[in-house]
Structure 1
């Protein structure tokens, strides 16, 4: 096979692989958005904490960009890509990105007030320090222990276990468990 055909076949394979990756990302965003919307509609069922992501819904708004990118990529590598299709992709992408950006700003103002009005308190000590991490809101202010940032993952895992078991520990029991997790963590690293 001439080198040109080998390169073309390699590009086709890469286009198909990237298409599957983008399709998986689209499915992932749809799943996370559905889960997020379910949490927002059933705040009264959240016993311990709630993760609020300001990026899930804007991310869902931009998923058609991934789908259009798949079309553009496959059409380019397996056939002819008309110029008007590429132009449409650029225009749609710009509109969707603008809508997602505006929606992110609106969610930033509206969502914290909505969650707080439903009985949750923001707890930055349980959050991951990454800039795109979800905000963590706890049902009771006592769940946000002063040193819980040291064991934030373990605390939320324990909350998940308690919720799955249907347990409703008191505020004192939650505080005692958080302090126990902190003590165990300190012993592990001494």
Structure 2
């Protein structure tokens, strides 16, 4: 789960580059909602899971093909199981800074490499029907990612991360 969230952060740092020239600003926005439900046959084990995440990223091209950015994000994951007797709720709040370099490949297609560092605050509460558990964690991480960017126009790009690695 942590790796997925860190991957999402690396992607956000590279979501939207409006241009690749020095002095240009970039804005990235993200919203994700997920709902899943499972039911095991011949038992009373049921599970409902809901997740929501919001992301806001800003970048500034400090020189041609080089972007410095910051990303803020919030993620909530809630799981209810066994007829809603057991509830597990996790909240994540994070901030990341990143350095991203673009390498032209063909016409409007670019490769990019990103280095990032960040902080994440985790808060988890679990209710088992009998007891209530709470846990809070601070996490620091460093990461590197690579991918492709397609600049549709001078002001809009679509990016995807193909490789990602993090240590925390």
User: Which TM-score applies when normalising by structure 2?
Assistant: 0.21
Larger Rg: 1
Which one has the bigger helix percentage?
1
Which one has the bigger strand percentage?
2
